[in-house]
Amino acid sequence: MDCKTSLAPLALLSAKAAAETSAMLRSLLDDSPDFALSHIGAPNASSFEIVYQGVTFRLAVNAQVDDIIGLKKIFCNIDTTTLRSCVEVHLGDHVAGGERVPAIIQGLLGVARKLGMALGVNAAVWRPADIVSGFEYFSEAVSDYLDGGPFPVMAMVNFNAALGGNIESRGLEFLAGQELHVVCNDMDQSDLMRRVVRIVHDIAINGPIQDSVRLDGIEPGEKIDLRPSSGTAVLNVAISISDA
């Protein structure tokens, strides 16, 4: 999937027909105290503008559903032939570029979770990373994050194995302007991913790493070197463990 800027970063996939989804969404927005409906089209309109926690979002109901074949699936085992509508969640025009502000991303995730639960959707697609998550998993991960827990890394950042067992991220740049290239030659993938998830959480919450820095790792003697690559959006991460 080509994540173009015109596409919503987040889409909710439903087995309900678009007309039913639109009607349910209109009713929800009319009745819910969580949302202020700032703009709506004609009575049969499928697009809405709302304000949630002081931030404007645009919602669009489409009968055309994302093709999720080829996307990374996280706890998602749905029959794609049953999907009949898609609710796209866009950032409002006045917060364009707000994807790099954690509070705005929290609002976006909060909107998606509340809408998805009310509409009974099946899955959530995070387009910047080409990930589709089963909605139950997505909702739980987002709830934990909004309650002060860890950033929902696995639902929002993709990871690819590079040459030599190294790891490259995809989708973090959308959130923080930076992707990871992780090098570690003496650690298995599961242990390496524990470190990577912690680094992604820190960047997603606190912003990109601007200067080279060496940090203590999880284990005694472990060092993590973070070095931004000049002129690119890549953060080089080298993990090493001393025998001393």
pLDDT in tens, the chain (244 residues): 333 445 899 999 999 999 999 999 989 988 889 888 876 655 556 888 999 988 999 999 999 888 888 899 999 998 888 999 999 999 988 787 778 899 999 999 999 999 999 999 999 999 999 999 999 999 999 999 999 999 999 999 999 986 666 899 999 999 999 999 998 877 888 888 889 999 999 999 999 999 999 999 888 889 999 999 988 899 999 998 876 5
Question: What is the per-residue pLDDT for 93?
Answer: 83
pLDDT for the residue numbered 170? 95
Model pLDDT, residue 1: 37
Render 111-128 in DSSP notation, one character per residue. Answer: HHHHHHHHHT-SEEEEGG
Between CA 60 and CA 89 the distance in angstroms is 7
Residue-level pLDDT at 30 = 87
DSSP string, 81-101: GG--EEEEEEEPGGGTTGGGS
Burial (0-12, 13-18, 19+ Cβ within 10 Å), 227: middle
| Distance between CA atoms of residues 125 and 127, nearest Å | 6
Question: Three-state secondary structure along 97-115?
Answer: CHHHCHHHHHHHHHHHHHH
* pLDDT at residue 236, rounded to an integer: 96
The per-residue pLDDT for 5 is 42
- Give me Rg for the CA atoms of the chain: 19
Strands, E, within the chain: which ranges? 10-14, 36-40, 47-52, 55-62, 72-74, 85-91, 123-126, 131-134, 158-161, 167-170, 179-183, 213-216, 222-228, 234-241
- ∠117-169-197 over CA atoms, to 5°? 65
Here the tokens at position 113 are 């979770």
